[in-house]
Amino acid sequence: DAKTTQPTSMDCAEGRAANLPCNHSTISGNEYVYWYRQIHSQGPQYIIHGLKNNETNEMASLIITEDRKSSTLILPHATLRDTAVYYCIVRVFGNEKLTFGTGTRLTIIP
């Protein structure tokens, strides 16, 4: 499985953009990058995923570098409800399961 590396924790001011980095230097060409988040006492929640191109949805944007060795999740206008642990996951081809790491604990500061 391609491993991911994320900072343990980050802070972001409310209303600012939160940029969460992820390194996945051993990613294969047909592996997707997924982001999930887990708010306290809840199960993980899907945010976004991508293969090569940048992606945007109602929750966030995903920027993947051209060599695909790293990516950044962007929450454009962070709110207090965005405080959570954010997991960057590479999904192995032919393997249905998601392999979680320890993620980044994002705290939004009022």
Partner 1 sequence: GAGVSQSPRYKVAKRGQDVALRCDPISGHVSLFWYQQALGQGPEFLTYFQNEAQLDKSGLPSDRFFAERPEGSVSTLKIQRTQQEDSAVYLCASSLTRDRDEKLFFGSGTQLSVL
Residue number, 45 or 56, with CB nearest to partner 1: 45
State the minimum distance, in angstroms, from the CB of residue 20 to partner 1: 15
Residue number, 25 or 95, with CB nearest to partner 1: 95
Contact 31, 93 (CB under 8 A): yes
Contact 20, 9 (CB under 8 A): no
State the minimum distance, in angstroms, from the CB of residue 99 to partner 1: 7
76: left (phi over 0), alpha (psi -120 to 50) or beta: alpha
State the minimum distance, in angstroms, from the CB of residue 84 to partner 1: 13
Contact 101, 85 (CB under 8 A): no
Residue number, 64 or 85, with CB nearest to partner 1: 85
Interatomic CA distance for residues 14 and 44, integer angstroms:
22
Residue number, 24 or 91, with CB nearest to partner 1: 91
Interatomic CA distance for residues 64 and 75, integer angstroms:
15
State the minimum distance, in angstroms, from the CB of residue 64 to partner 1: 14
| Contact set with partner 1 (CB under 8 A) | 32, 34, 41-46, 49, 51, 85, 87, 91, 93-103
